[in-house]
A and B are shown apart, each in its own frame.
Chain A
Amino acid sequence: MKLFQDLLRDYKFAWGFSVLCLLVIFASLSFFSPYDPTLWGVVPRDMQPSAEHWLGTDSNGQDVFWMASFAVRNSLTIAIIAGVVSRIIAVIVGMVAGYKGGMTDRVLMFFSDSLLVIPLFLIIVMLAMLIRDSMNLVTLGLLLACFGWAWDARLIRSQILSLRERDFTQTAVLSGTGTLRLVLNEYMPYATPLIFSTLINNMAWAIGLEITLAILGLIDLSIPTLGTMLYWAISYQAILLGRWWWLLTPVILSVLLFVALYWLSVSISEYLDPRTRIQRVGVS
């Protein structure tokens, strides 16, 4: 809890955290939505924001407010699946490659480097087209996860490589500590800030990519996400027809989400930086 209090003292964290909290509350409102988001025409179409429909309604006959709360929920779900799964891959690959070294390292880094140099976006678009029929929240999250770990695995590997040469690694080995425990006990404290800050960055990346894929019409457009909301708004030419509420809602929500995630990532990585942590240990 002390950690949380310390973090809240940083205005970047406080702002990012509050905005993210509001968005999460907004997303969880979707559980109480009076409308089914998959149906069309549940409300009158193209209504301006009013007391009854706070953010108006769209051309599909959906209430924009409730639609947006589903969209934020689904986009966050995709981002969390993609972020967490790719973190697990990145940590395992990075730590094994960094600690084992030699042939293992070369093989694993060959894979991650290949992922880094191929034009990722095209591959994702092609794969998304191939599995379009079975594309739901989970498969989209996993698809993004498969491509989002390579750079971070490299970061973790280089961190481990430098830690492996430090004397305390040898102290731990001489203390009889096994490889797995050694990596978890000795190296995790150093890798944690990387994992957290890259998790948040990766979530932002996943949300961005989801929006892109949706605008290209490459995911199941009946699932409300920030991307599909934008897709429908654009394809119904909401801006031309003056239905600004329909387009502006997902745009503002996306921007808020990105900024909140960015602030959190900056603040957490600053706080967890081992150098400032050692100083704090010294002071307290």
Chain B
Amino acid sequence: MNNTILKTEALQAFYVLDLYGKSKVVKAVNDVDLAIQEDEIYGIAGESGCGKSTLLKTLAAATEPPLRVVSGRVCYRIDGVDVDVATLSPEAKRKLRLEYIAYVPQGSMSVLNPVAKIKETYRDFVESHVGGQSKVDAFDLARRHIIELGLPPKVLDAYPHQLSGGMRQRVTIALATLLSPRIIIGDEPTTALDVVVQRGVVQLLKDVQRNLRNTIILVTHDMGVHANIADRIGIMYAGKIVEQAPTDKIFGEPAHPYTQYLINSLPKFGDKSTRESVPGSPPSLANLPSGCPFHPRCPHVMEVCKQQMPGFTQLAPTHKVACWLFGEGENGKTA
């Protein structure tokens, strides 16, 4: 039984910029193969500028110039049929984006209309998607949905600015899940929130997933959040996924030197021993080093790393890593 709901094959998405006669290619997503299952929370971890937000844009079929999908494809499985999003009409894409796939951004202020009460935003949303609903029905639907998610119903009568940042973010998530989408994409949905509020938002996301049994793709740089919510994690570095494994494997037996640095540099309570961070700086996506993009910062660098990007090596049935330390990469190529 194939449970893959979203997959990408050798996906490359570049920004092609032209600034005062000098052209610049930013390789934000560079050969990414993903297979995301139904009923799972897939975390994508990586630091700023590694291309994770761009990956989300291409996954949500929201690429706009200067961003271009150069090669590869993104496929959704809708009702048992694989659909290549590149073949869809703009109208079909729009419909797909709102009912099949929902997007939760970092800042919620841009989603909610600042001069309308929350319930009016809900009503507009219901009207444009379900259609034929009366005003009372729409409010009723909104109220039930809000209560179901454990939010106070009085938020419906508030304006966005009257709510705290965390409540706004939870209202945005509630709005995004109103139509029970099969895939929810969250781009740093908890960043810039306080820890207590962040916990509330993460819990809400978990509850939603448990109820809908759908797929959440969560991008954040905060490994603590991944540890708390994700089932599987993909580690992204310089536009590539370099390691992918279930959450406990990533934290318990990280294989890629970059993942090891990421995990080991996290400060822990009760342990004040010195934590080392990755030497050097992240590469610019417009000017990538040859071979494995991590080789200038890698403590185990070998000659072959400078020449060629390694393919994936399967360490366990669910754990794969792209690093020369683990072999030739007989399972799928990334170069």
In the complex they form, whether A and B have CB atoms below 8 Å apart is answered with yes
Q: Which residues of A does B touch, CB under 8 Å? A: 6, 279-280, 282-283
- Nearest B residue (CB) for A279: B19
Give every chain B residue within 8 A of A283 (Cβ-Cβ). Answer: 19-20, 22, 24
Closest 6 CB pairs of A and B: A283-B19, A283-B22, A279-B19, A283-B20, A280-B20, A280-B19
Q: Range of interface residues on chain B? A: under 10
Chain A's nearest CB lies how many Å from the CB of B321? 34
A279–B20 Cα distance when bound, in Å, is 9
A6–B19 Cα distance when bound, in Å, is 13
CB-defined A-B contacts under 8 Å, sample of 10 = A6-B20, A279-B19, A279-B20, A280-B19, A280-B20, A282-B19, A283-B19, A283-B20, A283-B22, A283-B24
- Nearest B residue (CB) for A282: B19
Give every chain A residue within 8 A of B24 (Cβ-Cβ). Answer: 283
Question: Which of A6, A280, A282, A283 has the most B CB atoms < 10 Å from its CB?
Answer: A283
Question: Which of B19, B22, B24 has the most A CB atoms < 10 Å from its CB?
Answer: B19
Q: A interface, by DSSP: helix, strand, loop or mixed?
A: helix
Chain B's nearest CB lies how many Å from the CB of A153? 31
Given contacts A283-B19, A283-B20, 8 further A-B contacts (CB under 8 A): A6-B20, A279-B19, A279-B20, A280-B19, A280-B20, A282-B19, A283-B22, A283-B24
Chain A's nearest CB lies how many Å from the CB of B267? 26
Give every chain B residue within 8 A of A6 (Cβ-Cβ). Answer: 20
Q: Mark B207-231, 1 if CB is under 8 A from A, else 0.
A: 0000000000000000000000000
A279–B24 Cα distance when bound, in Å, is 12
A283–B18 Cα distance when bound, in Å, is 10
Chain A's nearest CB lies how many Å from the CB of B333? 34
Chain B's nearest CB lies how many Å from the CB of A75? 36
- Enumerate B21-47 residues with CB–CB distance to A below 8 Å: 22, 24
Give every chain A residue within 8 A of B22 (Cβ-Cβ). Answer: 283
A204–B178 Cα distance when bound, in Å, is 57
A257–B24 Cα distance when bound, in Å, is 40
Give every chain A residue within 8 A of B20 (Cβ-Cβ). Answer: 6, 279-280, 283
Give every chain A residue within 8 A of B19 (Cβ-Cβ). Answer: 279-280, 282-283
Q: Mark B1-28, 1 if CB is under 8 A from A, else 0.
A: 0000000000000000001101010000
- Nearest A residue (CB) for B24: A283
Give every chain B residue within 8 A of A279 (Cβ-Cβ). Answer: 19-20
Give every chain B residue within 8 A of A282 (Cβ-Cβ). Answer: 19
A282–B24 Cα distance when bound, in Å, is 11
A79–B19 Cα distance when bound, in Å, is 36
- Nearest A residue (CB) for B19: A283
Chain A's nearest CB lies how many Å from the CB of B276? 29
Chain A's nearest CB lies how many Å from the CB of B18? 10
Give every chain B residue within 8 A of A280 (Cβ-Cβ). Answer: 19-20
A282–B22 Cα distance when bound, in Å, is 11
